[in-house]
Structure 1
Amino acid sequence: MPSPTEEPPGFELPLLLFAGFRALIDDLHAELARRGHPDARPMHGFAMQAIGPAGATASEIGRRLGVSKQAAGKTVDRLAGLGYVERADDPHDARRKLIRLTPYGLDMLHQSAEIFDRLRAGWVERLGAERVASLESSLRTVVPAAGFPVDVPGWFG
């Protein structure tokens, strides 16, 4: 760790950001397991966000995640096996199958949102409201305004 007058090495920033992300995600999944979602994994959350409230085809999910249609299909198969999604006929195109979130999948997303609020409150308790607000504001300044990408799985691949 650098002294207060030394600049930290540049590689430390992405590692700290990732470690903070990982700590939040690990805490989220531990709590989800206690709340009835023991098989939920980080990839599942990204995939369910890619599916969205209106549903999506496997091709759309693959594009949104930045992975192949086949990789998206495997993820959908896993989510369907866990009861988080279902396949349905697309009302606009009988040749396509639409992947939709089930009530169990919607519950996981709802529970995740509640847990993230609690985890953020824990950071506020440890760091103070001003520091957390400053951190969030600073990140909004440097993160592209295009929204929150769900293509992390493909990006890491």
Structure 2
Amino acid sequence: MSNDPPGFELPLRLFLGFRTLIDALHAELARQGHPEVRPMHGFVMQAIGMRGTTAVELGRALGVSKQAAGKTVETLERLGYVERARDPHDTRRKIVRLTPRGLDALTRSARIFEELRAGWAAKLGEERLRALEADLRAVTPQDVFRLDVPGWFG
């Protein structure tokens, strides 16, 4: 009889690890003045990036329709995290870009993720955490910034 856990537990544990980090991130973001930011918003703001993007490009990056991307942009615009503007290189196009509030949320998120990682290192030990990260790198695609997770879940 094997002592190995059932195969279905691995993806559930990986997802629970992800969920644990994301929930802790959003609880801290709320304490730091961003209570309305949701996990999907983080994917969208990362996809918008520092240079901005169009709704079509945003939908493609997220793996969702232009309409779905547009609805999320509307929400983020209403909350003050993004703004729409004419593209200076092509006035027929509108681009979505982050506002100072959006940049603040992303900057705080990066800092909070560092703190969360430090908490995991304290619990597991730095060596074990580095080994876990190396093992995950060995079995996952190299592109760590794939933002199409929202579309994949859809």
Report the TM-score, using the length of structure 1 for normalisation. 0.96
How many residue pairs align between the two structures? 154
> Which residue identity is paired with 1:144?
P
Structure 2 partner of 1:63: 60
Deviation at 1:7, TM superposition (A): 1.3
Structure 2 partner of 1:143: 140
Q: How does 1:69-148 map to 2 (within 5 A)?
A: 69-148=66-145
* Partner Cα distance (1:136, 1:147) in 2: 12
Deviation at 1:147, TM superposition (A): 3.3
User: CA-to-partner distance for each residue in 1:21-68, whole Å, 9 max, x for gaps?
Assistant: 000000000000000000000000000011011000000000000000
- Which ranges in structure 2 are unaligned for 5 or more consecutive residues? none
Deviation at 1:8, TM superposition (A): 1.1
Report the TM-score, using the length of structure 2 for normalisation. 0.98
SS at match of 2:92: strand
- Which ranges in structure 1 are unaligned for 5 or more consecutive residues? none
> Which residue identity is paired with 1:59?
V
- Does 2:34 correspond to 1:15? no
> Which residue identity is paired with 2:63?
G
Deviation at 1:148, TM superposition (A): 2.0
User: CA-to-partner distance for each residue in 1:1-29, whole Å, 9 max, x for gaps?
Assistant: xx9x5111111000000000000000000
